[in-house]
Amino acid sequence: MAILDIQGITKRFGGLTAVNNVSFSVEKGAILSVIGPNGAGKSTLFKLISSFLPPTSGRVNYNGHTITGLAPHEVARRGVVRTFQETTIFKEMTALQNVIVAHQLRCRATSLGIYFSSAAARADEERFHNNATEILDYLGLSTVKHMLARNLPHGHLRALGIAVAMAAEPKVLLLDEPFSGMNIEETDAAVKLVQGIRDRGVTIVLVEHDMSAVMRISDKIVVLNFGTKIAEGTPTEVKRDEAVIGAYLGEADEEVGH
Amino acid sequence: MGLEINQLTHHEGSGSSRIASENGRLSFRQKLRFAGFVLILFVAVPILLGRSPYYITVLTNAAILSFISLGVWITFSIGRMNLAQGAFALVGGYAVAILATRYGVSFWLCLPLSGLISAALGALIGWPVLRLKGVYFAMTTLSLTEAIRLLALNGGDITKGATGIVNIPRPGAIGLFGLTIVPEFNGADPLPFYFLACALLVLGLVAVWRLSTSRLGWVFRSLRQNEDLATSIGINVAKYRVIAFGACCFMGGIGGAFFAAFHQNIYPATYTISDSVNFMLYCFLGGLSYIFGPVVGAFLLVIAFELLHAVQDYQALIYGILMIVCMLWLPNGILSLGTRHDGKGKYGGR
């Protein structure tokens, strides 16, 4: 069953069509990658799915309900959580504090309850602290959990970004270039990590440049070029697709443009 | 929650962080310092200076200016430089003036009411305005101070224009079962006002400390550090921005109401842009990462300028220079002098 269904989504910025009538669906428990050359509209598509940008037309269905038009925090509340391309993190908090704060949408206490430290608020904090510790352990960050995020090395920051997203207990996790800037060993570790998260029952959609990682990890790949979907299929299918080869090698641009 | 508690005293530049169970608890030294502060306010000052209405008045001003600036500090905690606090103090002042002179409402009821009126107005205006960031928010709130002043000036019979509202009654006595708990305030002695100001300040400090160390404070911090990330994890950014701004305006309104009753008058020019800037300056000078920051800043500047009568004509100039000096050499405020300097402004680059 498709957990996420993107139907004919289009985004125009003035005269530029960044994403043009793209449709695909994501099966529950799958890893789907969106690839394409620079400027293909991958990041825009990402923002459209997570509601950070409103589409010009088309819509996104999640579990059979349209989430297009909802505020981005509402989309997150329903279980579609995104990460960010760069090291977007609460820099002046420790790793642990980052992940604890990220539990906000699991709060059972009201704002007043939080202010007056009601029993519910205290129970929340206890739960969040334990859960955050567990997430950090799982992502291999337990040794640095009391370090300020801005002092963490690059690789740890990426993992912390995922930890923060995990705290929101996503059903669908949108990962924006999770392997960029990583060497081979780091990529291997990150691939295992993403697969591990999938095995915990989280559906994963990722946008990525790193072809080798994508080919290894994906159940399905969607290829964008100039905002248009030019191919979709398993890694082996996509690898053999002529339009894809053309787009990546820069040949036959005229044909693709049609 | 287990997050680091750095607001009341210092911020550890890096590394250490306490965990959950200690959240919202003060160390013994912090408690001692706070108790000392309260004792000075309520015992030492009245004993030493109680016979000098002049000094008591100066300290009363400083206490309430600190209280109002604490509100501005809250908006700093969500990453907004708020220059509208003068406007909300004016709203609170007019609220108490109108309620008391027209409808004969008791000051003790007016005080919380004026805070609530300011907070409601703040939430209404804040909802759209808080989408702005950085210098755009600062400029918009700056013009808001001016707009509210003009509104008061042209308010016709309601605000009585430039003549303002005078003869605002002083706070009356509070009695319970025939016992007088708070005696009627009279004109000759500013001491009752001083005690009320100190009580408000201590209450305000406790309330803001509670806010800042609770999860709400951490949500505010998350907004300051990255609104997009906060949104992505399901935080309703708009809602918490309005909560913070509303709390700020509440304190502005209460402070404005106090001064209106203290001076028994309110004019459109009672709070101008320079007051809004000063509220912010007190926060900067004391240190933005410390709850005590605005208190230190306000007391220091208010007392300094009362003592230096000769230079009062140059107040704006000196404040301006001070602000520049503060940003260049003391980006974390005076209170950061007591801490190891980590070389980077905590709020740097905003």
Which chain A residues have a beta carbon less than 8 Å from that of B241? none
Task: Answer with the residue of higher pLDDT: A38 or B110.
Answer: B110
Average confidence (pLDDT) over A72-77: 94
Q: ipTM value, please give it.
A: 0.89
Determine the 3-state secondary structure of A28 from DSSP: coil
A143 — contact with chain B (CB < 8 Å)?
Answer: no
CB contact under 8 A, B229 and A89: yes
Give how far B62 is from chain A: nearest CA, Å: 27
- Do A73 and B234 make contact, defined as CB atoms within 8 angstroms? yes
Per-residue pLDDT at A185: 87
Query: Can you tell me which residue has the tokens 């989280």?
Result: A202
> Would you say residue B347 has pLDDT above 80?
no
| Residues B232 and A51 sit within 8 Å (Cβ to Cβ) | no
**Spatial distance between the Cα atoms of B97 and A175, rounded to a whole number of angstroms:** 57
Exposed, middle or buried, B56 (CB in 10 Å: 0-12/13-18/19+)?
Answer: buried
- Tell me the three state secondary structure of residue A59: strand
Q: Between the CA atoms of B133, B138, B139 and B141, what dihedral angle is there, to the nearest 10 degrees? A: 110
How sure is the predictor about B349, in pLDDT bands with cuts at 50, 70 and 90?
Answer: very low
- Which among A104, A114, A117 has the least Cβ separation from residue B233? A104
pTM over 0.90: no
pLDDT at B13 over 70: no
Closest CA to B38 of B30, B27, A117: B30
The pLDDT assigned to A247 comes to 78
Res B331 pLDDT > 90: no
A82 min Cα distance to partner chain B (Å): 6
- Residue A12 parent element (H or E): strand A2-13
Tell me what pLDDT residue A52 has: 93
Residue range B229-251: average pLDDT?
A: 95
pLDDT of residue A68: 92
pLDDT for the residue numbered B339 = 63
Of the candidates B231, B44, B332, B245, which has an alpha carbon nearest to the alpha carbon of residue A164? B231
Give strand ranges (E) for chain B: 165-166, 174-176, 179-182, 265-266
Helices B293-307 and B53-77: crossing angle, nearest 10°?
140
Of B210, B226, B234, the CB nearest to A104: B234
Among the ranges given (A218-227, A243-252, B47-56, B298-307), the one the predictor scored with the smallest mean pLDDT: A243-252
Residue B291 lies in a domain: no
A222-243, pLDDT tens digit by residue?
Answer: 999 888 999 899 998 988 888 8
Give the total number of structural domains in chain B.
1
The three-class DSSP label of residue A222 is strand
- Architecture of the domain spanning A1-79+170-258: 3-Layer(aba) Sandwich (3.40)
- Quick one: pLDDT band at residue B341, thresholds 50, 70, 90? very low
Spatial separation of the C-alpha atoms in residues A60 and B246, rounded to whole Å: 35
Give the confidence band of B19 by pLDDT, cuts at 50, 70, 90.
very low
* H-state helical runs in chain A: 42-49, 72-78, 95-101, 111-115, 119-138, 154-167, 184-199, 211-217, 235-240, 242-249, 253-257
Q: How far is CA A114 from CA A14, A53, B90, B218, in A?
A: 44, 31, 31, 11
| Alpha carbons A81 and A113: distance in angstroms, whole number | 26
Mean pLDDT of chain B: 85
- How would you classify the pairing of strands A2-13 and A16-27? antiparallel
Q: Nearest Cβ partner of A97 from B15, B17, B237?
A: B17
Under DSSP, the state recorded for A94 is: B
- Dump pLDDT digits (tens) for A90-102: 999 999 999 999 9
Q: What are residue B165's DSSP bridge partners?
A: B266
pLDDT score, position B350: 33
Mean pLDDT of A44-48: 92
Contacts of A102 in chain B (CB under 8 A): 233
A178-224 tens-digit pLDDT: 888 888 888 898 899 999 999 999 999 999 877 888 999 999 999 99
Domain encompassing residue B202 = 55-276
Compute the average pLDDT of residues A15-34. Answer: 93
In which residue are the tokens 């003790």 written? Answer: B108
> How large is the average pLDDT for residues B314-336?
82
**Does the beta-carbon distance from A114 to B4 stay under 8 Å?**
no
pLDDT digits (tens, 9 = 90+) for B52-102: 889 999 999 999 999 999 999 999 999 999 999 999 999 999 999 999 999
Hey, are the CB atoms on B226 and A148 less than 8 Å from each other?
no
Share of chain B above pLDDT 70, in %: 89
Q: How far is CA B109 from the centre of its chain?
A: 20
Q: Once rounded to an integer, what is the mean pLDDT over residues B299-324?
A: 81
Residue type, A186: E
B320 or A67: which leads in pLDDT = A67
Q: B30, B8 in Cβ contact below 8 A?
A: yes
Distance CA B277, CA B25 (A): 33
| Lowest-pLDDT choice from A45-54, B180-189, B250-259 | B180-189
- Among B1, B226, B233, the residue with its CB nearest the CB of A125 is B1
Phi-psi group of A7: left, alpha or beta (phi > 0 → left; psi -120 to 50 → alpha; rest → beta): beta
Q: How far is A46 from chain B (nearest CA, A)?
A: 12
Predicted local confidence at residue B79, as pLDDT: 92
Q: What is the pLDDT of residues B91-148, one digit of tens each?
A: 999 999 999 999 989 999 999 999 999 999 999 999 999 999 989 999 999 999 999 9
What's the whole-number average pLDDT of chain A?
89
B8, part of any domain: no
Over residues B207-234, the mean pLDDT reads 93
* Helical ranges in A108-173 per DSSP H: 111-115, 119-138, 154-167
Residue B38 lies in a domain: no
Q: Does B333 map to a domain?
A: no
pLDDT at A251: 55
Name the closest residue on chain A to residue B347, using Cα atoms: A92
Q: Taking residues B37-46, what's their average pLDDT?
A: 90
State both tokens at A256. 């693709």
Strand partners, A13: A16
A86-134: per-residue pLDDT in tens? 778 999 999 999 999 999 888 888 888 888 888 888 888 899 999 999 9
| Structure tokens given for B337 | 């002098």
**Residue B1: pLDDT band with limits 50, 70, 90:** very low
Mean pLDDT score, B282-304: 91
Q: Is B52 on the interface with A (CB under 8 A)?
A: no
In this prediction, residue B24 carries a pLDDT of 59
Least reliable range by pLDDT among B25-34, B105-114, B237-246? B25-34
Q: Where are the CATH 3.40.50.300 domain residues in chain A?
A: 1-79+170-258
Q: Is pLDDT above 70 for B295?
A: yes
What is residue B324's predicted lDDT score, i.e. its pLDDT?
A: 85
DSSP string, B203-265: HHHHHHHHHHHSHHHHHHHHHHH-HHHHHHTT--HHHHHHHHHHHHHHHHHHHHHHHHHHHTE
Decide if B8 contacts B24 (C-beta within 8 A).
Answer: no
Residue A258 confidence (pLDDT) above 50: no
pLDDT of B344 reads 41
B104 versus A256: which is more confidently predicted? B104
* pLDDT confidence of residue A183: 85
For the cut 90, the answer to whether the pLDDT of residue A15 exceeds it is no
**Spatial separation of the C-alpha atoms in residues B168 and B261, rounded to whole Å:** 6
